[in-house]
Structure 1
Amino acid sequence: MKHMLIAVLVLFPSMAWAGNVDDKKALGNLTSLKMVCDVNVGEAKLLLRRLELIDETYSQLIDAGVTPTVVVAFRGGASLFVTQGAKYIDPGDAKTKREIQGWVDQFNQHGFRIEQCAIAAKAQKVDPADFLPAVTVVQNGYISIVAYQARGYALLPMD
C-alpha cells in the first residue's frame, strides 16, 4: 500500500498537467495590456519569487502575442531590497538582494516603469537617494497605483 501511495504522489503532478494549458480564452483577441504590480513583500526569498513570477507572466504574454506595459511598484518591506549597498538588509540576504537587483535591471531593460513609494521609504528609514538608479521614487505609492488603475492598468497584487 505504501508503494502505491508513493506511485500516486509521483504520477499525480504529471496527470494534473496532462493536456494543453493556455490562456487563449482569457486573452481573446488582445494585442496589448497594461498592468501595475504591487510589490510589498519584505522577505528576501519570497520577494525574489514574486519578481520571477512577474517576469514569467511578462514572457508568457509576449509568447502569446500580447504586448504588455508594466509598472512595478515597490512599497513596504520590499523597499529595502531595491536600495544600493547592503546597509538596509540582514547580511544573510545579500546574495538574494543581488538577485532581486538583477531582476530590477532586467525589468528596466524591458522598459518597465519601476517605482518606489516615498511613504514606505520613510517608514523603512531608507534615504530616497539610496534607491537604485532604475527606481523612480514617487510621493505616494497608493496614489500611483490607483492612478494607473484609473488609466486602464490592471492591478496585479504580489502579496
Structure 2
Amino acid sequence: MAIPSSYVSSIPVITGNNCKKWVEELELHLGLLDLELTLREFQPDPLTDTSTAVERTKFKKWTNAKRKCMLVVKKAVPEIIRGNVEIKDTTKEFLDVVKARFELHKKAETITLMTKLMNTMYDGNESVREYILGVASDASKLKDLGIHIDEEYAIHVALNTLPS
C-alpha cells in the first residue's frame, strides 16, 4: 500500500512542547495506514529454510510495515533531533528513545520556567500589562507541563515585583 502524502504531511513535527500529542497523532496515522503492526507486535523470528508460508507472509508484512513506519517517523522528526537520537532497529524502540529524550527536555523546561517565575522582576523594558501577561503565560506553560500554578498566584507574584 502506498502512503498518501496527505497522511504524512498532516503529522505534526515534534517540538519540545508537543511530544505527547505528536505520539498520539503518529500512532493514529500509522494505524490508519495499517502500519502500527510494528508498534503492537514484536519482530518475528528470522526466516529459515523450514519456515512456513504463513511465517514468511507474516515476516514480509512486518518487515514492510517496519520500513514504511520508520520513513514516516523520520519525516516527522526534525534533522536536529534525529542527529541526537540513536537510530534503533524497530519503530517502537526509536519512539521510546525519542520520548525519553523529550522527557529530559520537559524537565529542563520545567526548571527553567519555575526559576523564571520565582525570580521575575519588572525591568521597565515592556508595559506593565505585557509583563503581567508574560508571567501568566509562564504559569500556563508550567500547567501544560503538569505543574499547576494558580493564575491568581502568578498575577500576585507579578504585581509584587512592580516598583512602588
TM-score, normalised relative to structure 1: 0.27
Question: Which structure shows the higher strand fraction?
Answer: 1
Question: Which structure shows the higher helix fraction?
Answer: 2
TM-score, normalised relative to structure 2: 0.27
